[in-house]
């Protein structure tokens, strides 16, 4: 079987994306020292994070994880312009793994113009240059991995900065590192040397090969569903879609009822046992009512006792599954040449 042949895996995974995935639990120990962390204690009335792709994903995880703890609104901006309300009482966090994302650089310039409180997360590039030049609070991320595989680094940096500015408690930063060994143990079950018969990640990849994936999450698992879509796009080089319940039941739910019945999709429900009871019920009822109208869903029950454990477990699994899918597709999961070409064309 292709996924049990280590020589085939090595041939297609020439850049060792599986090795990078296996090292991600260690990212939860990233110290994330804040440079220029001193600030003037001005009241912060809202937090805005400017970031794209994987750099925005960590913010989505935090927004969902800590929504009942944060006492100020937290908005994520994935475009060029900041909201008009951004002012001196706004904390603007500019996040870009490369430090050269043009949308995020534009957001930083606007934040400077409006006198906002500012922080930066990047591994280098123009954002770190600007942070050093203007003495802006910043965390330098370790370099050398694809941004989508550095989400745990980004998460640690973001929470550290939010602690620095008094938005969340220090215990949340420590909570992330406390799960490092558990994540290592869990993800070892998905390693290449574990055969298909006992390897959940390989089994999910086999289920999805040759189909377009659709990922559904609930209120708590929506960011994880989005992560699966990102991993599918960038690792497996496959189109994928995602949505969340209960919104799904108010529109997209009906979209499945039209013919043809035999649709070339792999549908995944990403479930947390911490979800609102009515949302869990919606997953069950939706599957029952759509029986025969769409492919039977594959349910992914997230492991972990806490929400952040479940989020990181699900995010890590997404990388493993999509890397195995890339191998089934006969491609190297690491390069994203078309994105690089797009950036060159835009510049």
Catalytic residues: 234, 250, 343
Q: H/E/C letters for each residue in 206-242?
A: HHHCCCEEEEEECCCCHHHHHHHHHHHHHCCCCCEEE
Which pair of structure tokens corresponds to residue 171?
A: 């215990």
CB 97 within 8 A of CB 149: no
Q: Angle CA(318)–CA(323)–CA(329) in degrees, nearest 5?
A: 125
Nearest by Cα to 34 from 167, 221, 165: 165
Nearest by Cα to 113 from 92, 135, 140, 137: 92
Exposed/middle/buried for residue 250 (C-beta within 10 Å: 0-12, 13-18, 19+):
exposed
Buried b (16+ CB within 10 A) or exposed e, 5-29: eeebbeebbeeebbebbbebbebbe
Residues linked to residue 268 through DSSP beta bridges, in sequence order: 215, 298
Helix (H, G, I), strand (E, B) or coil at 131: helix
Query: Which residues touch 287 (CB under 8 Å, ≥6 apart)?
Result: 269, 296, 297
By DSSP bridging, strand 117-122 and strand 137-140 are: parallel
Sheet bearing 46-50, strands edge to edge? 74-77, 46-50, 90-95, 117-122, 137-140
CB 241 within 8 A of CB 229: yes
Sheet bearing 240-244, strands edge to edge? 240-244, 212-217, 265-271, 298-301
Quick one: which H or E segment has residue 161?
Answer: helix 151-164
């Amino acid at each position: 079987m292709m996924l049990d042949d280590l020589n085939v895996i090595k041939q297609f995974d020439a850049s060792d994306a599986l090795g990078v995935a296996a090292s991600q639990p260690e990212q939860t120990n990233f110290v994330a020292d804040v440079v220029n962390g001193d600030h003037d204690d001005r009241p912060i009335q809202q937090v805005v994070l400017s970031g794209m792709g994987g750099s925005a994903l960590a913010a989505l995880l935090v927004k969902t994880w800590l929504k009942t703890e944060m006492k100020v609104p937290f908005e994520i901006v994935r475009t060029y312009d900041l909201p008009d309300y951004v002012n001196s009482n706004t904390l603007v966090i500019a996040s870009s793994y490369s430090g050269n994302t043009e949308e995020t650089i534009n957001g930083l310039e606007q934040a400077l113009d409006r006198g906002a409180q500012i922080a930066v997360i990047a591994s280098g590039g123009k954002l770190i240059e600007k942070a050093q030049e203007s003495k802006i609070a910043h965390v330098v991320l370790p370099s050398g991995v694809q941004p989508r595989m550095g989400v745990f680094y980004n998460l640690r940096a973001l929470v550290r900065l939010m602690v620095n500015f008094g938005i969340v408690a220090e215990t949340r930063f420590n909570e992330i590192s406390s799960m490092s060994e558990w994540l290592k143990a869990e993800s070892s079950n998905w390693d290449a040397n574990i055969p298909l018969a006992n390897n959940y990640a390989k089994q999910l990849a086999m289920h999805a090969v040759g189909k377009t994936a659709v990922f559904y999450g609930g209120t708590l698992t929506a960011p994880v569903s989005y992560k699966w879509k990102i991993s599918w796009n960038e690792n497996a080089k496959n189109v994928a879609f995602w949505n969340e319940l209960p919104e799904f039941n108010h529109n997209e739910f009906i979209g499945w009822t039209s013919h043809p019945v035999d649709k070339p999709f792999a549908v995944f429900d990403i479930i947390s046992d911490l979800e609102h009871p009515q949302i869990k019920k919606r997953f069950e009822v939706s599957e029952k009512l759509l029986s025969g109208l769409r492919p039977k869903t594959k349910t992914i029950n997230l492991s972990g006792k806490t929400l952040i454990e479940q989020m990181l477990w699900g995010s890590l699994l997404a990388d493993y599954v999509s890397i195995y899918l890339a191998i089934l597709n006969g491609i190297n999961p690491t390069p994203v040449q078309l994105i690089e070409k797009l950036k060159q064309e835009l510049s």
